[in-house]
Amino acid sequence: MEAGGKQREYSRAEVARHDNAESLWVIRGNQVFDLTAFHTDHPGGSDVLMQFAGQDITEAMRDGAIHTHTTQAYRVLKDFYIGEVTADDRREHPAADGGRDEMDCVEEAVFLDPSKPLIGQMWGSRFTKEFYLREVHRAHHLPQPAVFFTNPLLEMFTRTPWWVIPLYWGPIIAVLLTLGLRYEPPSVMLVGWALGMVSWTLLEYSIHRFVFHYDENLPEGTVAQFAHFLLHGVHHYLPMDPLRLVMPPALSTTLGLIILSVLCCIFTPGMIHAVAAGLATGYVLYDECHYWLHHGTSANKYLCKLKTYHLRHHYKDFKAGFGITSDFWDNVFGTQFAASA
């Protein structure tokens, strides 16, 4: 709305001029939405949205042959609302199946206000487990990174740009390999490094499924929900926040030390270093891949398939599709998406 509470209105001709990646607007049900910041993050791919840039997408969103949209898709669309179509340009559309407009089917629940610091809200919440798990897995989108703390120093430690991960872990990997060469020859170190890389894919799947998505076994109460929210819940609540897509070094280092202590009980010096370096390399590739899956674009069919697969986990079924860099372990353990998901 404009100052004074007046509703901003746009003609269809004005919306039509916003038909490119730099400014992408659409009309849906006589409402105008600015999808410029979202089109590269669209679960069906940027190309699907680009086909309808500057146009009315009311009927296109109902067309399953183009791209299947759930109620969640309409809830996400609401985050990008900027105004209404002018009275002279308004059009009537046939009612959706069931006779009720899809936007009216979006439930409005009192959960968190993403425009305010989130940590205080979560700590002071009294949600039931059922309500919390339902709402935290409904994606929201903000035009800028969310605020966790009012204190700027604390807030700084919650934000991790994607480039911090290789910058932090690269030297650690180099040191591990250098120290390992004091105990084992390069050929043995290479085998250990490769073993670590392969092992990471299973570890990645296991952490995502059994730690990050400890959903159904989550105890009732604010403390459990608060821990869940910090660990992974906020990522599902705000899946496109660019500064909360990779793991903060403090958390990844803690997990790394736990894993290293286990390796010390299994391998000898040299192999410990090699496997640890392989695991760390796999982790770096995973975190960078994860960031790309949310914000990257590519003409490569495999990468596009991987992106769609992961975003399906966020927007359609968070109880399946736990693989990030591959769906291999999902297929092994039967956690792939159902055909209708």
**Is 228 annotated as belonging to a binding site?**
no
HSE-up of residue 280 (Cα within 13 Å, Cβ side) = 28
Q: How distant is the alpha carbon of residue 7 from its chain centre?
A: 32
Residue 10 phi, psi (nearest 5): -135, 140
**Is 141 annotated as belonging to a binding site?**
no
**Is 208 annotated as belonging to a binding site?**
yes
Do 291 and 41 form a contact (C-beta atoms < 8 A)? no
Q: What does the alpha-carbon distance between residue 283 and residue 273 come to, in Å, rounded to a whole number?
A: 15
The residue whose two tokens read 């997990």 is 255
Q: What does the alpha-carbon distance between residue 153 and residue 322 come to, in Å, rounded to a whole number?
A: 33
**Is 310 annotated as belonging to a binding site?**
yes
**Is 235 annotated as belonging to a binding site?**
yes
**Is 137 annotated as belonging to a binding site?**
no
For the chain, the straight-line distance linking the first and the last C-alpha, in angstroms and rounded, comes to 36
Do 322 and 205 form a contact (C-beta atoms < 8 A)? yes
Strand partners, 25: 34
**Is 236 annotated as belonging to a binding site?**
yes
- Residue stretches of the annotated binding site for heme: 42, 69
Binding-site residues = 42, 69, 208, 213, 232, 235-236, 290, 294, 310, 313-314
Indicate the annotated binding residues for Zn(2+): 208, 213, 232, 235-236, 290, 294, 310, 313-314
